[in-house]
Amino acid sequence: MALSFPALIADKLKAERFSLLDIGCSGGIDPAWRAFGPKLQALGIDASETECRRLADIERNPDISYVAAFAA
């Protein structure tokens, strides 16, 4: 079975942190990016304040945050 792109990159960059910008993060960060584990640093941006608040409440990684905003 082939590795997903994030899993392949995480395997190659074992000691490196990985920063992700997720614009339109409704539903949360795609689970494939969790392959980076504690090395993942992410910022999720979505127009829905309610959704960003919900995601922030359930997020376990302290290096992942969500911002309610429009990106253009």
Categorize the per-residue pLDDT at 9 as very low, low, confident or very high, splitting at 50, 70 and 90: confident
Q: For residue 43, is pLDDT > 90?
A: yes
| Residue with the larger pLDDT of the pair 69 and 7 | 69
Q: In whole angstroms, what separates CA 64 from the centre of its chain?
A: 6
Hey, what's the torsion of the CAs at 53, 58, 60, 62, to 10 degrees? 10
Residue 1 has a pLDDT of: 52
Residue 42 has a pLDDT of: 98
What lies within 8 Å, CB to CB, of 31 at 6+ separation is: none
Give percent above pLDDT 70 in the chain.
Answer: 97
Q: Are strands 64-68 and 40-46 parallel, antiparallel or unpaired?
A: parallel
Task: Report d(CA 11, CA 6) in Å as an integer.
Answer: 9
